Amino acid sequence: MIKPYGSDKLKPLIVDNEKLLAEKLKEAEGLPSIIINSAAAANAVMMGAGYFTPLDGFMNKDETLSVAENLKLPNGLFWPVPIVNMAKNESLTDEIRKAKRIALLDPNVPGNPVIAIQEVDSIDKLDPDFFLHILERIYKTADFEHPGVFNFLSSGCNLISGKIEVLNYSYFQAEFPDTFRTAVEIRDLINQNKWEKIVAFQTRNPMHRAHEELCKMALKMVKADGVLIHMLLGKLKKGDIPADVRNRSIRKMVELYFPKDTVLVTGYGFDMLYAGPREALLHALFRQNAGCTHLIIGRDHAGVGDYYGAFDAQTIFDEIPKNALDIQIFRGDHTVWCKKCEEVVMMRDCPHDREDYLLLSGTKVRNMLAHGEPLPPEFSRPEVAEILSGYYKSELDQ
């Protein structure tokens, strides 16, 4: 199986020994505590689950700048996106500022239980010019309307850096017991299946016919043993489909339309960045940690609005050092139903014209579902459309 990124073995930061966990929880009771933001909590979950191997904690100002500018840490390790714990001024009590170790409290679970313990190496305040500089590098924009930029700017201006020990996986295990899996668990599943070549498919959306066929095309073209459908389970922008609805629709599609024992449906606990090309690199890195040999990068991967070119998330892989990642990229084109071919095709491989394609915008699909109109079977499997239609109808009835 493919090696983890930057290490001979995974480095999950979760404390999973019961006795040690009890000791850490007891220690946390006596530590200064801070309710962290959702993005920092998700970063902790990803480090706990081994997805962010070989990191051992949150980055400081110099590391953040180096990653933003050079796609690597000061020690030379390739890394595409800063992994930070940012705090607002009002959260930084004197106790926190003087502490060597602090308890990080989960903002997404009632009662704000401890999610991790962090060593405090430094607390760096970011000035506005620094903020703008790194935003332009990571997101290619500092526009407050960009959901990733908005979340970043809303998190505070202080970086708390240092190693962490993760005590739990937040709400993800409880809410998605059949879907949330750590990088360690996915590798175990791959080993159990005796798969050698695994194609990963990233999704924050329900999967329609085009996504389904793209997975099948990749499975066939790279001669893979199986597909990892790996869905984001964390926070999204307003208007996106909730994770539980996506989970049900994807499982139904796999059950009915994929060959048996060729797909693992799993999810990971992270908040969407909408960082386009940079996020695509991060997606590849942590799929390598999960044991995948290939990642599908399609049109506008991890993008939002018109902030990125349709295939910027593919071409960025041509700009990084060739040895930066071991995982390989399967480059998908815009995938549509062709009325003349009478099948789903990638536009680059089809000789027909745009008027021969069934093209539905996301807005049009949402409007049809909200009004109970059936989606064309060429676009969406009817069983998937039924689940989505039920969700939109319930939203309208509220």
Name the residues annotated as catalytic: 204-205
Classify strands 328-331 and 294-297 as parallel, antiparallel or unpaired: parallel
HSE of 25 in the Cβ direction (CA atoms, 13 Å)? Answer: 13
197: number of Cβ within 10 Å: 16
Phi–psi pair at 101, nearest 5 degrees? -140, 140
CA-to-CA separations, 214 to 186, 332, 357, 362, in angstroms, rounded: 22, 7, 16, 18
Cβ atoms 43, 85 nearer than 8 A: yes
Phi–psi pair at 368, nearest 5 degrees? -65, -45
Cβ atoms 102, 28 nearer than 8 A: no
Cβ atoms 107, 157 nearer than 8 A: no
Torsion angle (degrees, nearest 10) of CA 23, 26, 27, 33:
140
